[in-house]
Every structure is written in C-alpha cells, then in structure tokens.
C-alpha cells in the first residue's frame, strides 16, 4: 500500500516502524498501518477492502497528465478524467485495498477560487 501511494502522489512515505508509515502532503497526512497496528487502536476497528463510503482525495495541478502517468502501472480506474458539476475535473480509481482515490483539478472559476488556484 505504501508503494502504491508513493507512486500515485510522487511523495516519499516515511516509516516510523516496520508496521506504520505516513505520507505527508501540504494539506494533510495519510497514515498507513499494518494489521498489527490496527490492533493497537482496537481489534477489528479497520478491515482491508471494507470501505464503501469514504474517498481519499488529492488536489493535483493537471488531472489529465496524472491519468497518463498512472496508466503506466496497475491501477483499477473507476472512470477517466471527468469534469463534475461542481467544477472539478476528477479521476477516480481504487487503491490495493479497494478504497476509492480521487485526483482532482479545479477547472471552473468558482472551483479555482474555492481552492485558491
């Protein structure tokens, strides 16, 4: 999973222990833990491939360019880059656990203003 997110974001994952890593972005941190780490929070509190509602999102400069880049390795795409009604151009795919990941670029004036672009 860590390698997957390193490839998607082009950012390094920082390992604290063999069972816990963090991917730090300017906007937030994605924590990645092994099944042994989950037990520290509460047995059974997280289960791989069991997410059906949350989407992990990353703001990118050019979602179409990211789509071309990511086609070079095994990614389960849900859609191709699509402009959504709220003004973001989005690319939705799944990580190795089946979680939805969205790369997006604001393209309308309102969306650009919202994200300071």
CATH superfamily of 49-117: 2,3-Dihydroxybiphenyl 1,2-Dioxygenase, domain 1 (3.10.180.10)
Q: Is the Cβ–Cβ distance between 73 and 7 less than 8 Å?
A: yes
Q: Boundaries of CATH 3.10.180.10 in the chain? A: 49-117
Q: Is the Cβ–Cβ distance between 16 and 22 less than 8 Å?
A: yes
Give the DSSP letter of residue 7: H
pLDDT 10s per residue in the chain (117 long)?
899 999 999 999 999 999 889 999 888 889 888 878 877 777 777 777 777 778 899 999 999 999 999 998 878 899 999 999 999 999 999 998 888 999 999 999 999 999 888
Q: Is the Cβ–Cβ distance between 80 and 67 less than 8 Å?
A: yes
**What's the pTM?**
0.82
Q: Is the Cβ–Cβ distance between 34 and 46 less than 8 Å?
A: no
CA distance 75 to 102: 12
């Amino acid at each position: 999973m860590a390698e997957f997110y390193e490839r998607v974001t082009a950012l390094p994952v920082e390992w604290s222990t063999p069972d816990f890593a963090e991917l730090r972005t300017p906007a937030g941190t994605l924590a990645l833990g092994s099944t042994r780490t989950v037990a520290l929070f509460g047995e059974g509190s997280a289960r791989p491939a069991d997410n059906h509602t949350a989407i992990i999102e990353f703001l990118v400069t050019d979602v179409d360019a990211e789509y071309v880049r990511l086609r070079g390795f095994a990614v389960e795409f849900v859609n191709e880059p699509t402009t959504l009604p709220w003004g973001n151009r989005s690319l939705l795919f799944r990580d190795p656990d089946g979680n939805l990941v969205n790369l997006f670029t604001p393209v309308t004036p309102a969306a650009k203003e919202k994200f300071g672009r």
